[in-house]
């Protein structure tokens, strides 16, 4: 009989998480560490990455930290080399950094467009390229990127951000096809409304906060840990037959067109 508990166990695995200082990246690093992986926590916010590593160690796990700018090819290459040297190999690689400037296309400045694409899309590409080389050489590994429900559902002011997230999902498919024969899996998570620093400004506007909550089928915002758990699943052997996929972690946001009506079942 299959040992299903063992499928989720990450004991002995070596993980790199870029974006580990806060939000979903922090939760992903903590989830991987709690399940037994040794985690290298990286972020442009070094103090935040170090705090996440300290939390993992306090829970009995193994973790260290370093600084890296997710939009810099030079820094990502140095980070991957540093993490591989520290850990000995890379079994799991997660990248979550992303930014949004909420503006209509007519109001977008070219520099703003370049900034979003450079971090969200190009940064993901650079991360894939560097960790992919390590994993292809060792003929195993799981890579996980961060897409969004905005890859498929949109609202005014999110077209540029959503376009980068849609591109990430396609990048995942393409890269999965290229490295699958080398034992490497590539997937993404696509969260909906999660309480992170990126969404914190919305909380100051209760009417919008509640409107978004009512758009999910369970009527609430998600916690970073709920996305971190999905990352841990994709990293584990429990997801050994999943590659090239984007896992929706959206509480049904993309399953319905409009808010739930509250209709009750009748016999």
Q: Give Rg (Cα) of the chain.
A: 18
pLDDT for the residue numbered 197: 79
Helices (H), 104-223: 110-116, 123-138, 159-179, 200-203, 206-215
* Residue appearing with tokens 């070094």: 46
User: How far is Cα 36 from Cα 61, in angstroms, rounded to an integer?
Assistant: 7
pLDDT for the residue numbered 202: 85
Question: What CATH superfamily is the domain 4-251?
Answer: NAD(P)-binding Rossmann-like Domain (3.40.50.720)
Write down the catalytic residue from 4, 108, 161, 241: 161
C-alpha count within 13 angstroms, C-beta hemisphere, residue 70: 33
4 labelled catalytic: no
CB 169 within 8 A of CB 190: yes
User: Which of 163, 127, 165 is closest to 146 using CA atoms?
Assistant: 165
Q: What is the pTM of this model?
A: 0.94
Domain boundaries, given as residue ranges, for the chain: 4-251
pLDDT for the residue numbered 188: 98
Residue 230: enclosing H or E segment and its boundaries? helix 224-235
> What parts of the chain have a pLDDT lower than 50?
none
pLDDT for the residue numbered 261: 60
CB 189 within 8 A of CB 249: yes
According to the 3-state scheme, what is the secondary structure of 170-187?
A: HHHHHHHHHHHHHCEEEE
């Amino acid at each position: 009989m299959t040992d299903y508990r063992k499928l989720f166990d990450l004991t002995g695995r070596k993980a790199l998480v870029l974006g580990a200082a806060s939000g979903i990246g922090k939760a992903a690093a903590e989830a991987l560490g709690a399940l037994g992986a040794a985690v290298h926590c990286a972020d442009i916010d070094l103090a935040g990455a170090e705090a996440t590593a300290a939390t993992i160690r306090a829970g009995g796990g193994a973790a260290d930290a370093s600084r890296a700018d997710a939009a810099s090819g030079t820094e990502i290459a140095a980070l991957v080399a540093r993490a591989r040297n520290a850990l000995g190999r890379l079994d799991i690689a997660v990248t979550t950094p992303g930014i949004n400037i909420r503006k209509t296309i007519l109001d977008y400045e070219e520099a703003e467009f370049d900034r979003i694409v450079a971090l969200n899309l190009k940064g993901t590409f650079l991360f894939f390229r560097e960790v992919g080389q390590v994993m292809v050489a060792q003929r195993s590994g799981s890579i996980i990127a961060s897409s969004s429900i905005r890859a498929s559902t949109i609202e005014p002011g999110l077209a540029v951000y959503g376009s980068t997230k849609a591109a990430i999902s396609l990048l995942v498919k393409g890269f999965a096809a290229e490295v699958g024969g080398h034992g490497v899996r590539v997937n993404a998570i696509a969260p909906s409304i999660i309480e992170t620093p990126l969404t914190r400004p919305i909380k100051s506007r209760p009417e919008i906060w509640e409107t978004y909550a009512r758009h999910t089928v369970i009527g609430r915002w998600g916690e970073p840990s709920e996305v971190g758990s999905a990352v841990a699943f994709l990293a584990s052997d429990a997801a050994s037959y999943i590659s090239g996929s984007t896992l929706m972690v959206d509480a049904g946001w993309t399953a319905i067109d409009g808010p739930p009506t509250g209709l009750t079942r009748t016999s």
